[in-house]
Amino acid sequence: MTFRYALTAYLAMALGQSLAANYSLRVDAGHHDRVDTPVSFQLPDANQAHWQLTGLDGQAVPVQSDERGVATFILPKLAAFQTAEFKLTPAEKQAQLSGVKMTRQGSKLQFTLGGRTVMHYQAEKSELPRADLEPIYRRGGYLHPVVTPNGTVITDDYPHNHKHHHGIWFPWTNTLFEGRKPDFWNMGKGTGTVEFTGLQGQWSGPVHAGFSSSHQFVDLIAKPKKVALTETWRVQVYAVGQGDSAYHLFEMESVQRCAGSSKISFPQYRYGGLGFRGHGEWDGRENCFYLTSNGESDRIKGHATRARWCHVGGKTGGKLAGIGVLCHPSNFRFPQPMRIHPTEPFFNFAPSQAGPWEIKPGEDYVSRYRFVVSDGKPDAALLDRLWDDYANPPRVEIYDAK
C-alpha cells in the first residue's frame, strides 16, 4: 500500500470506472498531533473537476481541487498515531463557501481571509515611492505588504539603507554565467535584475487562494542582455489560523531553470536566495528579534548556523509581531544556512554559505518555504508543530468504497 499523495494499486485499476464512483479516504496522523493541518492528495480522476468530502458523521468538509488534479482540505484535529475516515464523491460544482479571497488591484494581487488582508503580491514593477530612488531599482515579483491577523504590517519595501530589498523576494547575489558575474540582488550595480513576466493562474477558494507566476533573471552585462534563469512561483494562502492562536499561513514553491544551454554557478557567499525584509521600525540592533528552531535568539550567534525555521519580529506602531520562515526538508542543503543581519531586520536562507554549487541545463532547482505570520512573541511550539505538518504531512490512502 502506497501513502502520501498516492493511491492504492486497486484504485489505479478503478480509474476507468464511472464518475459516480464513491471512494473512502483514510488519513493517518503519523507521529505528530495535527491541528488545522492542510492535507493534500492526488484525486482518483483528474478529469473530474469538483468533489465532495464528508466525515463519517455526515458533516461536509470543505475540499478544493486544482488544475494538477490535487485536492486539499483542512484537517481540524487528529492525535498522533490516530486515523480519520472520510467519504469522497464527485460533485457537479464546488461548494460556495467562505475561505480565502484573491482580488486583482492594478499591478498587485490582494489576499484576504475573513475580510482581513493577509498579503499582497507585487506583479508588474511597482511605482517608486520616493524621489531618491533611481529607475534601475523598480522591481516586481515579490510579496509586500505582509500583514498579521491584527492588521500590523511586518514587511518593508525600498528601505533607505537597502533600496533593493522588497518584502519577501528571491534573487541571487554572487553568480558566474558565461564568464560574467551578474548580481541579481544588488540592482543598483546594473549588472543583473529579476523581472516579472506573467501570471499563469490565480484563484480563490474555501481552502486556499493563490497564484502561479513567472520571473526571469536577466544578465545586464551581456550585450544584448541575456536571460540566465527562468523561474515560476506557486504561492498558496490557507484558510487556517483563525482560532485563539491566530496566525496567517501561506507557502511558496520556486522552480528555477537555466534559460538556455549555459549553466549558472554560485560561488560561496554569505547571502542570496529567499530573503525577508522586516518593517522599517524594526531597523537597529535593539529593534528586531530573532529565534531559530535551535533555540538561538542571539542574532550574532545565529548567523551562519543552519535551522529548520527562523522567526523574525519587531514592533510596528508599538505592536509586536513577526513571521516564521519554515524551510522544507527537500530543499537543497537542508537545513539551509542562514544570513541574519547584525543590525537590520533582514533574514535570508542562503545555501551558498555552505560552498559553491550550480544549476545545469535540464535541471530544476526547486525551493519550498512556508510562512507563519502572527502577532506578539514567537510561539516555538506552534512553529515546531506547523513545521512538522509541512515536512511530514499526514498520510492519505484512497480506496473504492464499494
Question: 170-208: per-residue pLDDT in tens?
Answer: 999 999 999 999 999 999 999 999 999 999 999 999 999
The percent helix, strand, coil of the chain (3-state, each to 5) is 10, 45, 45
Q: Considering only CA atoms, which of 256, 66, 236 is closest in space to residue 143?
A: 236
Q: What is the pTM of this model?
A: 0.93
284 sits in which H/E element: none
> Which grid coordinates belong to 20?
459516480
Domain parsing of the chain, residue ranges = 9-95+392-400, 100-390
Count the neighbouring beta carbons within 10 Å of the beta carbon of residue 160.
Answer: 11
Tens-digit pLDDT profile for residues 270-289:
999 999 999 999 999 999 99
Question: Among residues of the chain, what percentage have pLDDT more than 70?
Answer: 93
Q: Do residues 197 and 284 touch, judged by C-beta distance below 8 A?
A: no
Assess contact for 279 and 316: CB atoms under 8 A: yes
333 Cβ contact list (under 8 Å, min separation 6): 351, 354, 357
Q: What is the CATH number of domain 9-95+392-400?
A: 2.60.40.1180
pLDDT-based confidence at 37, cuts 50/70/90?
very high
> 217-243: per-residue pLDDT in tens?
999 999 999 999 999 999 999 999 876
- Pick the closest to residue 73 from 81, 62, 82 (CA basis): 62
pLDDT computed for residue 20 by the predictor:
52
Cell numbers linked to 154: 511586518
Who's near 210: CB < 8 A, 6+ residues apart? Answer: 102, 202, 203, 234, 235, 236, 237
Cell of 70: 490535487
Q: Which fold has domain 100-390?
A: Beta-galactosidase; Chain A, domain 5 (2.70.98)
Question: What is the Cα–Cα distance from 397 to 16, expressed in whole angstroms?
Answer: 19
CB 305 within 8 A of CB 338: yes
In the predicted model, is pLDDT for residue 299 greater than 80?
Answer: yes
